[in-house]
Structure 1
Amino acid sequence: MDASVTGGKGANLARLVDAGIDVPAGFCVTTDAYRSLVTAPETRRAIEAVDELDPTDADRIAELSATIRERIREAEFPTDVRKALDDSLVKLDVETVSVRSSATAEDLPTASFAGQHETYLNVSPEAVLDRVRDCMASLYTDRVVTYRLRNDVPSSGVALAVVVQAMVDADTAGVVFTADPITENRTVASIEANYGLGESIVAGEVSADTIRADRSDGTVLSYDIGEKSVRVRSGNEGGIERETVSDDSRGRRALSPEQVHRLVEKGEKIEELFGGPQDIEWAFRDGELFVLQSRPITSLFPLVSPQPEDDLLHVYMSFGHQQAMPEALPPLVVDFWRSFIDGGVERFRPPEAGGLSAEAGNRVYVDLTPLVRLAPLRGRIPDALSFLSEPASDGLREVLRKREDDIPERGVGAGWVRILRAIRRGKPSLRPIVSQALSEFVHSLVFGVPDLDELWTWSDSWGTERASELRSPQTTDGRVRATFEEVDIVAFLRYIAPKGAAALPGVLAGRLLGRTFPDATDELDAIGKGFEDEVVTRMNVELGELATLAGNASEVKTALDSGASLDEIETLRGGEEFVETFDSFIDRFGHRATGEIDLRRPRWRDDPSVLLSTIRNNVGEERGSREHLAELQRRAATAQRRLEARANHGPLGPLRKLAVRHLIRSYRKAMPFREFPKHGMARVFAAVHEICSEAGETLAECGSLERPNDVWFLRRHELLAMLDGVPLDVDVESRRRTHERYTTMTAPPLLTNEGEQPTAARNRNVTEGTLVGTAVSAGVVEGTARVVRDPSEGSLEPGEILVAPSTDPGWTPLFLNAAGLVMEVGGRMTHGALVAREYGIPAVASVTNATAEIHTGDRIRVDGKNGTVERL
């Protein structure tokens, strides 16, 4: 069962045999035999050279791979290997065998390499030796080498064994997945079946029967009869032959219900054996079921943990998608956000109910089930989600429609009773929040919506005070405990609700303007832009001014181009003013960062490289942020005059004009509010980053951790235990590898406890190749795409269209140059959409796989009104 000796496939087959699973008889030619073929110095040098190749250099890969294959085929096995092979064939005593590759880097939990290496069927004993050598040479086909390079699997460290088994000339064969590979539902098994050998399915030559079955009892949920036009069978002269299937047989089911049940039952046993979902090749011959191989399904997104304790279907919303940051988070950050959510939610729920958060793939998910079960909220939750993620909203509606019985609705009366009970439990927390919010709302109605200066003072002072409170304990342990115990969603509501209530009259003024002027969409859009002291605007204006300073000081510009440090720049002519202005920017915004909810990431104060890169790219840009702001303000003033003019008619015209002017003033005061709460919270995030980093340094100094940043791969309870002096053996490197694997997975915005990712089709009449998303900022722009996955590693030239996985305030500097925006996640109220509308940039969000479908340099057209992205 040692994969280093028998390869992945051989080791898995050995485990199946040991567990009593019916596997065709056979033996394994071990990796020692392979190594005997690659001992020549020139062969070893060529293999070592493979690891230095660029996975995109197809020509060099093809050249070097061909050389290695040829040398393996020309090499001779030692005498003892040939004798052992002959003896094993005599003992097996069959007319023909299958010869299958089994690499050491194959059928792994993280990379299956399925179908990458050679397999030979219906091989005579006389031909086995050559086929074994051919299998071993297939370790260096172009596609296998490329696959290894892309998955960071060193060629110098892999070897290949070969499994030789009695040939099963199947009546029917295929694959069974113990989890549905399409929906990722873990309660459903998916089966593909065809007449004859399974090669027809593996090679994709036929449309096979597709069966979905309930894993709990093997009941057939759906059976789609495929065309099954070709049958593969063993040839009379060796090898395989293909024959046409009769029309009558094509229309029949390849499997009976009893056979489906047996396959599901066998799949259950094999998944339990290997501890995870499996992709199993099988064959029926004369009613007997054989398992030919089993490999892990590596593409499935992990299940949520903890799993719910009841028997209901539970639906979870990605917290990262709500924050426009769906990337994987390290374990300690996951624990922080789960504490943040549950620490507040638990105040409103019975003690036995617990929190609503869960974890999957190093992401945080929030259980929506308790909310959507309440009749008063069932229809409103999808509507609310649509502002954050249209795919999540549509998917939730779809799952509530299709599986209504699995998420039973509580009656209206029962729903209101639960809501009132939750309010009563949370009264101690809610009372001061509601009281302050009402007070602020009334004050705002009487004296007007707060000015921006007041919002800046409120945001900065709250964030600074809360950050100071977290830092106030005298010990590292005390500061870490405060981080996890005193920062939760209720504390955030206590901060945001009063000022949010103060801004509410301005929001209502905007709605009243919309009802008063339903046909004035352009004017209403214009008056919602052009705020000089709004967070993002001030950020960009100040960065633009820094670019102007650098452009006016040639030595500073040259230093920026060469990547000089701020200390070096300060010594240059014009450098002192530049650095002083930059330091002022850091004083105001240095607590911000890219991907702010990933608390591991350095804040701009710690690593200003992305800011300096943005400044460098904007030196010499004729139309800076201040000019853009002035244009938006001119448009807003023009729009206001038009709306006032429309109101100024009839005897009461002057009064209506004044009323409209007051409504516009209130609306414009309220609009910038949206970015201030997060600006204040970001100061708290920066303190959390600092406190946890300090804990890492403390633990590294005393030897509990190898490196300070290992702290981010601890769980909360482990960190606190280590700080208390409890020795723990945590495999940080394993968690790092797991985290790196999760970073390559695309997190779904919506996920069930069964692993299914609910979606709904987007029915739009678009041309082929056009990508569809959510329209979040009106306008149409054509331009060159720039794909940026991490703003700290990329930059944007003026006029380019930014294509990104998501954007949060840390991406703001890139908006200086963007002509348009395409995001893989987000909705109308997420950060990128709000900034795009403020800047008048056409934008489309929730464009699935945008960063993979679009490449830097592509010409694209972004339609921010209809929600489409067209490749030109």
Structure 2
Amino acid sequence: MGDTLQVLGPWTDTATIAALAGGKARGLHSLHTSGFRVPEWVVLGIDAFEQVLHAGDLTEELTAFLAINDLERALAAGAALRTQVAAAALPPTVLALIIDAYDRLDGGSIAVRSSVAAEDGPSHSYAGQFDSFLNVNGLDAVTSRVRACWASAFSERSIRYAFAHELPPTGAAAVVLQRLISARTSGVMFTANPITGAAEELVISAVYGLGEGLVSGAVDADSVIVDKSSGAVLETVLGDKERSYTPTGDQGVAVDEVDQERRSRAALSDAELIEVVELGRKLEADLGAPQDVEWAIDDDGLWLLQTRPITTAVRDTSRSGDALLRGAGEVLEDDEQRIWDNSNIIESFSGITSPLTFTTAADIYGRVYHGYAKSLRVPDEQLRQTDRWTPVLLGYFHGRVYYNLLHWYRMVGIAPGYPLNRKVLEAALGVDEPLADELAKTLRPFTFRTQFARLRSRTVTTVTYLRRLLGIDDMVEQFMTEFYRVYDEYDAMDYTTLSGEQAYASYRTVDRDLVQRWGPLMVLDAILLTCTGLMFLLTKLLLPKAPEWFLYAVVGPGADVESAEPARAMTELAQFVRAEPELVALVNSTPPEQIYPALRGSERTEFLAHVDAYIDRYGYRSLDELKLETPDLREDPASLFVMLRSAIGRVGDAAQHSRSAEADDYLDAHLHGLRRRIYERLRAKVNRCAAHRERLRFCRTRAFGMVKRMIRVMGRDLVEREVIDEFGDVFFLTVQELRGCYEGAQTETLRDLVAARKAQRARDGELVAPARFVTAGPTFGRAELAAQGWVPVTDTPAATVGTVLPGTPSASGIVEGTAIVVDEPRDVAGGILVAYRTDPGWVAALPSASALVIERGSPLTHVAIVARELGVPTVVQVKDLTKKIRSSMRIRVDGTNGTVTVLSEGDLRDGA
């Protein structure tokens, strides 16, 4: 081995640095080359370490150590090498090299840091695994610390780290000597949030003095989270500055008291924080990846001490389809606006919704509406244009699902009759604030090269649409036949015997088949919009004085609509229970989750048979039916008994009646002859379409129930394969990640992703979700969202006696009673059910409610339709309802005029 050694530094060429300087020095060299402000540094290369090993006859021991693949043997061999390196005599050439390096820094206090070859890599950082020393002063101390850095190449923690990450042991160590900054403030910065993985958040920790105490945990640091794009401070936590940390030259710890004034002050001033943030932005931009940065501030300003790539999972949440995605994943211009509205989407996806549910729904929506446009014979060029917006019809913010509203207007524009259809869309979605005409008119689903091409395409689409309108009954029947053929086949499968691969294959087959068939059927929604709009116009023309409730009562799917069957079956089950006092006591006094197991072990075979029959018919149903994470009745029968308990209290009450009879009476009194016949013909068409729509929604519920069973097989399979830790983790994956688990994708990072998403879910649950908000551009940082109403939950004063909350009438009638505010239909028992939102699974609870009030939704939502058929007075779209109405309040619900009035105790009529 040659004896020529040279001190390396910023002047050294990149190739030599890469070969001899180790990971930490590679980073410093890159920073210097890029023009960043770095304290003077030099490097003792790996070749110097190799001379020490050669002089101590340790080369063979190193070779043997690197070949070991057993952890315990490696730990023993590493301990022996540490001892030998610490005792080895230093060759004169190495001593001369250390003297030269120290002289180049003009002596004095320096930092001595390890720079092992594997350190600060793009995949594995080895952060904290090797030794570094601050305040090292004098040649003897420097030499001692250099030797200690070499020995740390074989530290126990680094060996364990390598084996834990299935990496080969390391044995190539360089050492960095660097001028010590007399820092008044120092710290670390991650240019992406290391906890949540959010790429748009920058996290800074800062302490007074040197930063070694922060890294070691000896000092409680200030912590600041900053929105990277805007620079807005999202969170600030001031650390306990009771004591400060100052390492000494012999690596002891000198602890000093901090004065009272500094104790209460942030370690970084506002101006310094801005400078550190800007440094982080520039570092990430120049180096092309999120960075873990060490920095310090002295009297001369801000210094960059070192940086390494962040090796934990980081997601660009503004651009990707990740489950922590904010927005819809669109690539937007900086000033391009989007309107987000939860309207009646919360009927399907209430509250916090899992990443798997959201990404599955968004994927299906995109493909279904693409199929819808294709079925109306939209030309290929324009069909390709729809691919820019159909995949992003939904958005995801802090775990909540929203309509990407502008694109829904574009979707309505595919069919003819846009000016009328968009007005009905607004009523159907239940949006509080219709779009301005000027904006709505610009929202075209696609554009054409020439006016002739546009006219030709619109003619073809219109003719196709009219044919669909006339033949919709046959289309629906054909779909139902094919749907139940597929459903019956897969519903009859024994899912307990399926492997994960078999369940995935079944899922993909069902997904492709049903989505392909569902697309053309979306024309039914367009037809219903058109016919309902015409019905409302005809009503205004022929019955200009008709009350508002009449407009909703005159149309509907009919009392025998299939989706109302679970409610009727629940009423029948409640009648059976009510006939036996012992059964009433069992249902009312036993925790719901214990009732079914108790029945299985009792002699109540007849009641158990009725329960099993209900589960056999409606076992695919659940509360929040479209949320994949919500177990159905087959998996968890407890919710059945929650609804049954409430229904028991309503059996025997005055019979409820359909408000459609009142609509008939009104028509008989005000409309006759030819005008009545015309009106009834259109009414019949609307009612048939409404019934068809309810049947399709019922099919959708069944389809999701079937998919739930398949995903549960896959979830348990992924646990067995050790891809995820527990079954529930599968719902924290995106649908793309779940598919990747069965299509050969890398799965090593999924555990970290799941952990980050779980932590984010807990924080999301503490925020108020605004009903509607607007964003501009591609960035949806926390600062922008907070300005739009995404703020921590705060107490809102309850409404006082006499307060009248206006809403939209949905089912006529007046009821006074006790408000029961719930997030699921439980323990209503004749009270007035007050909810932020509902979903189709709430239908079975309607027999237990004397009235229904919903903060969000529309008169055309599933539960509102069924409530009208069952005669339950209903008001929807009551702003801030669940913030102002408390359980046990006495209220009056006027479903005719659409109001909710807070009553005093004495105002409640006897027997109400």
TM-score, normalised with respect to structure 2: 0.54
Alignment of 1:3-14 (within 5 A): none
Counterpart AA for 1:239:
E
Query: Per the alignment, in what secondary structure is the counterpart of residue 611 of structure 1?
Result: helix
Structure 2 equivalent of residue 492 of structure 1: 518
Alignment of 1:764-783 (within 5 A): 775=808, 777=810, 783=817
Q: 1:408 to 1:697 in 2, by over 3 A?
A: closer
Structure 1 equivalent of residue 116 of structure 2: none
Structure 2 equivalent of residue 597 of structure 1: 626
Q: 1:506 to 1:466 in 2, by over 3 A?
A: farther
Structure 2 equivalent of residue 142 of structure 1: none
Question: Are 1:775 and 1:844, in contact at CA under 8 Å, matched by a contact in 2?
Answer: yes
* 2:726 paired with 1:692: no
Q: 1:376 to 1:772 in 2, by over 3 A?
A: same
Structure 2 equivalent of residue 786 of structure 1: 820
Distance in 2, Cα, partners of 1:319 & 1:507: 22
Structure 1 equivalent of residue 152 of structure 2: none
Query: Per the alignment, in what secondary structure is the counterpart of residue 362 of structure 2?
Result: helix
* 2:778 paired with 1:753: yes
Question: Are 2:849 and 2:872, in contact at CA under 8 Å, matched by a contact in 1?
Answer: no
Structure 2 equivalent of residue 162 of structure 1: 219
Structure 2 equivalent of residue 616 of structure 1: 645
Question: Are 2:810 and 2:874, in contact at CA under 8 Å, matched by a contact in 1?
Answer: yes
Structure 2 equivalent of residue 845 of structure 1: 877
Distance in 1, Cα, partners of 2:270 & 2:728: 54
Provide the alpha-carbon RMSD of the alignment. Answer: 6.7
Counterpart AA for 2:841:
G
Match of 1:303 among 322, 326, 338: 326
How far 1:528 sits from its partner (Å)?
Answer: 4.5
Structure 1 equivalent of residue 832 of structure 2: 800
How far 1:512 sits from its partner (Å)?
Answer: 3.0
Question: Are 2:817 and 2:891, in contact at CA under 8 Å, matched by a contact in 1?
Answer: yes
Question: Are 2:647 and 2:845, in contact at CA under 8 Å, matched by a contact in 1?
Answer: no
Question: Are 1:547 and 1:619, in contact at CA under 8 Å, matched by a contact in 2?
Answer: yes
* 2:559 paired with 1:532: yes
Which ranges in structure 2 are unaligned for 5 or more consecutive residues?
Answer: 1-26, 39-133, 138-178, 239-258, 305-313, 319-323, 375-379, 790-795, 905-912
Q: 1:566 to 1:190 in 2, by over 3 A?
A: closer
Distance in 1, Cα, partners of 2:354 & 2:333: 29
Q: 1:844 to 1:501 in 2, by over 3 A?
A: closer
Q: 1:662 to 1:871 in 2, by over 3 A?
A: same
How far 1:547 sits from its partner (Å)?
Answer: 0.9
Distance in 2, Cα, partners of 1:676 & 1:548: 26
How far 1:867 sits from its partner (Å)?
Answer: 6.8
Distance in 2, Cα, partners of 1:289 & 1:727: 43
Alignment of 1:245-644 (within 5 A): 265=278, 268-269=281-282, 302-304=325-327, 306-308=329-331, 313=336, 315=338, 317=340, 322=345, 324=347, 325-346=349-370, 350=381, 354-355=387-388, 356-358=390-392, 360-361=396-397, 383=423, 386-387=426-427, 389=429, 393=433, 397=436, 435-440=467-472, 461-468=481-488, 475-488=502-515, 491-495=517-521, 497=523, 508=534, 512-521=538-547, 526-528=553-555, 531-560=558-587, 561-562=589-590, 563=592, 565-566=595-596, 568-569=598-599, 575-624=604-653, 627-630=654-657, 633=658, 636-644=660-668
Query: Per the alignment, in what secondary structure is the counterpart of residue 219 of structure 2?
Result: strand
Query: Per the alignment, in what secondary structure is the counterpart of residue 801 of structure 1?
Result: strand
Query: Per the alignment, in what secondary structure is the counterpart of residue 843 of structure 1?
Result: strand
Question: Are 1:799 and 1:818, in contact at CA under 8 Å, matched by a contact in 2?
Answer: yes
Distance in 2, Cα, partners of 1:730 & 1:315: 35
How far 1:553 sits from its partner (Å)?
Answer: 1.7
Counterpart AA for 2:623:
T
Q: 1:306 to 1:837 in 2, by over 3 A?
A: same
Question: Are 2:284 and 2:290, in contact at CA under 8 Å, matched by a contact in 1?
Answer: yes
TM-score, normalised with respect to structure 1: 0.56
Aligned residues: 656
How far 1:551 sits from its partner (Å)?
Answer: 0.9
How far 1:679 sits from its partner (Å)?
Answer: 0.3
Query: Per the alignment, in what secondary structure is the counterpart of residue 239 of structure 1?
Result: helix
Distance in 2, Cα, partners of 1:713 & 1:505: 41
How far 1:582 sits from its partner (Å)?
Answer: 3.6
Question: Are 2:632 and 2:705, in contact at CA under 8 Å, matched by a contact in 1?
Answer: yes
How far 1:109 sits from its partner (Å)?
Answer: 4.8
Counterpart AA for 2:327:
V
Structure 1 equivalent of residue 754 of structure 2: 736
Distance in 2, Cα, partners of 1:714 & 1:284: 45
Distance in 1, Cα, partners of 2:779 & 2:463: 38
Counterpart AA for 1:515:
L
Question: Are 1:382 and 1:397, in contact at CA under 8 Å, matched by a contact in 2?
Answer: no
Structure 2 equivalent of residue 829 of structure 1: 860
Question: Are 1:314 and 1:367, in contact at CA under 8 Å, matched by a contact in 2?
Answer: no
How far 1:773 sits from its partner (Å)?
Answer: 7.9
Distance in 1, Cα, partners of 2:613 & 2:452: 53
Question: Are 1:327 and 1:363, in contact at CA under 8 Å, matched by a contact in 2?
Answer: yes
Q: 1:705 to 1:822 in 2, by over 3 A?
A: same
Deviations 1:119-152 (A, max 9, x none): 999x9xxxxxxxx9xxx9xxxxxxxxxxxxxxxx
Q: 1:268 to 1:690 in 2, by over 3 A?
A: same
Structure 2 equivalent of residue 676 of structure 1: 695
How far 1:676 sits from its partner (Å)?
Answer: 1.9
Deviations 1:686-718 (A, max 9, x none): 222222223334455566555555444444455
Question: Are 1:375 and 1:412, in contact at CA under 8 Å, matched by a contact in 2?
Answer: no
Which ranges in structure 1 are unaligned for 5 or more consecutive residues?
Answer: 1-14, 24-83, 124-131, 137-157, 166-174, 180-185, 193-197, 203-236, 243-253, 445-454, 649-653, 762-766
How far 1:685 sits from its partner (Å)?
Answer: 1.6
Alignment of 1:210-249 (within 5 A): 239=261
How far 1:808 sits from its partner (Å)?
Answer: 0.9
Distance in 2, Cα, partners of 1:255 & 1:662: 71
Distance in 2, Cα, partners of 1:309 & 1:464: 41
How far 1:542 sits from its partner (Å)?
Answer: 2.1
Distance in 2, Cα, partners of 1:665 & 1:828: 19
Deviations 1:631-660 (A, max 9, x none): xx4x54354244323345xxxxx6666666
Query: Per the alignment, in what secondary structure is the counterpart of residue 491 of structure 1?
Result: helix
Counterpart AA for 2:338:
V
Q: 1:615 to 1:260 in 2, by over 3 A?
A: closer
Deviations 1:593-648 (A, max 9, x none): 22222234322333232122211233243555xx5433xx4x54354244323345
Distance in 2, Cα, partners of 1:682 & 1:674: 12
Deviations 1:274-309 (A, max 9, x none): 98999xxx99999x8999xxxx9xx99853363417
How far 1:374 sits from its partner (Å)?
Answer: 11
Counterpart AA for 1:640:
D
How far 1:683 sits from its partner (Å)?
Answer: 1.8
Structure 1 equivalent of residue 841 of structure 2: 810
Distance in 1, Cα, partners of 2:492 & 2:455: 37
How far 1:519 sits from its partner (Å)?
Answer: 1.3
Question: Are 2:650 and 2:849, in contact at CA under 8 Å, matched by a contact in 1?
Answer: no
